[in-house]
Amino acid sequence: MRLFIDTNIYLDYFRASSESLASLKALKNLLTQKRVILVVPEQTEQEYLRRRSGIVEETRNELLKQRGSRAFNGQTPVVRGWKRAKTIEKIIRNLMSAYDDLLEEYDKKSLAEKTEADLLIKDIFKLSDKLAESKFIIEKANLRYMKGNPPRKYKDDRSLGDAIVWESLLEDANKDNLAIITHDTDFICKQKEEQVLNHFLRKEWEKKTNKKINLYISLAKFINYFEKKDVIKKEIVQEEEKRGQRAIIDSVSMSGVVNLEPLNFAQTVRANDFDLISRPFTAWQASEGLYNFTPANISAPLKFCPYCGKDIEESLRGYPSVQQYVLSARYQFACPYCGERFFPERL
């Protein structure tokens, strides 16, 4: 069996705990034993290298935020100088020092590309079957784009990246059955509440070859299916599936309007934080228990992607219905430039 893993799946593991890297470790074992062949289109590897630094910086900002949340701003004057107050001050100084050491270690490892995720993905790429691009593939991808065929997010999507990946996979189609791991809606459609390969793409595949093709939104789930037993813990499978489900939205309709898919949880934010939406910003965690609202009563324009900083409003000009985004954690968005998906409560 041949296996393709989308760039977003690799990048997800930079946000995962050490235990949650079990899927990558299991994949490495399968590749080493030559039980599965991983195919890596040139476009996928290049996209991974381009976007890795952004994910690394995002994680670093989370560490900085955690450190800041533990900052000590002094004590009430009446207890200042007390023995226990001095003990607390010492503990906090030690904690801040430990966080500084942690940040320094993270910076060194990420700069040297020696985090656990880095090392595993490097090894996995070395064990893979690389699919080189050709002028023929680029021309076919461009023709696909000109005709408006998937994979693409919506009709104004100017990127050929996913089209190049798909054309590369089609060129490789006759070698064996293929499993695709992705939560990118460019490749996905819904069928009876299940995520399946886009029908147009499946028809193309079936016309090209008699080999089977299946789609999974979780690497852990694929590995357990392939092994016919629970190699990966149930908790990790659920974590990956939850992450994949949250990433899946109906991002494009044939009219070019971004579709929003409801999710099943509530959200609270500070009312005076809405001004952040009108300029580039970094992700932030929502405040709890302060101001509840529903899509029916709150909306604000979303102008910039929190990951790449590109002007989303400008890219969607000409589609008035998407100039206003409803601000609620019940909805998830996809950037038309970098493809990152995010929840408004983290803006």
Last residue of a domain, which of 230, 246, 262?
246
* pLDDT recorded at residue 312: 66
Last residue of a domain, which of 246, 265, 284?
246
Residues 162, 303, single domain; the answer is no
Is residue 65 assigned to a domain?
no
Residues 50, 142, single domain; the answer is yes
Domain total in the chain:
2
Residue 193, CA distances (Å) to 225, 245, 257 in order: 20, 11, 22
Residue 267: CB partners within 8 Å, gap ≥ 6? Answer: 286, 328, 329, 330, 343, 344, 345
Peptide bond into 151 cis (omega under 30): yes
Q: HEC string of 227-288?
A: HCCCCCCHHHHHHHHHHHHHHCCCCCCCCCCCCCCCCCCCCECCHHHHHHHHCCCCCCCCCC
Contact (Cβ atoms closer than 8 angstroms) between residue 131 and residue 172: yes
Residue 81: CB partners within 8 Å, gap ≥ 6? Answer: none
* pLDDT recorded at residue 344: 43
* Mean local confidence (pLDDT), 228-233: 94
Residues 133, 210, single domain; the answer is yes
Which range (86-95, 218-227, 291-300) has the least confidence?
291-300
Of residues 218 and 248, the one with the higher pLDDT is 218
For CA atoms 186, 50, 158, 303, the dihedral sign is: positive
Residues 269, 340, single domain; the answer is yes
C-alpha span between 159 and 136 (Å, rounded): 17
The helix (run of H) or strand (run of E) holding residue 2 is strand 2-5
C-alpha span between 270 and 292 (Å, rounded): 9
Residues 147, 237, single domain; the answer is yes
pTM value is: 0.68
* Mean local confidence (pLDDT), 197-223: 95
* pLDDT recorded at residue 154: 59
Task: Pick the closest to residue 328 from 258, 264, 247, 275 (CA basis).
Answer: 264
Task: Pick the closest to residue 165 from 194, 190, 131, 216 (CA basis).
Answer: 131
* Res. 73: pLDDT tops 60: no
Q: Which domain holds residue 137?
A: 2-59+117-246
Of residues 276 and 189, the one with the higher pLDDT is 189
* Mean local confidence (pLDDT), 37-61: 94
* pLDDT recorded at residue 104: 93
Cα Rg, the chain, nearest whole Å = 23
CATH number of domain containing 10: 3.40.50.1010
- Confidence label for 233 from pLDDT (cuts 50, 70 and 90): very high
Last residue of a domain, which of 246, 275, 297?
246
Q: What share of the chain is helix, strand, coil (3-state, %, to 5)?
A: 50, 10, 40
Angle between helices 22-32 and 219-227 (to 10 degrees): 50
Of residues 249 and 136, the one with the higher pLDDT is 136
Q: What is the pLDDT of residues 104-153, one digit of tens each?
A: 999 999 999 999 999 999 999 999 999 999 999 999 999 998 888 989 76
* Mean local confidence (pLDDT), 75-93: 79
Which range (97-111, 231-245, 273-287) has the least confidence?
273-287
Is residue 104 assigned to a domain?
no
Cβ atoms < 10 Å from Cβ of 144? 20
* Res. 258: pLDDT tops 80: no
Backbone angles phi, psi at 179, to 5 degrees: -110, 130
Is residue 165 assigned to a domain?
yes
Q: What is the pLDDT of residues 290-344, one digit of tens each?
A: 333 333 333 345 566 666 666 666 554 443 343 344 333 334 556 666 666 665 4
* Res. 269: pLDDT tops 90: no
Query: What residues does 51 pair with on adjacent strands?
Result: none
- Confidence label for 17 from pLDDT (cuts 50, 70 and 90): confident
C-alpha span between 130 and 108 (Å, rounded): 29
Is residue 283 assigned to a domain?
yes
Residue 258: CB partners within 8 Å, gap ≥ 6? Answer: 154, 251, 252, 316, 322, 333, 334
Contact (Cβ atoms closer than 8 angstroms) between residue 127 and residue 31: yes
Residues 132, 45, single domain; the answer is yes
Is residue 84 assigned to a domain?
no
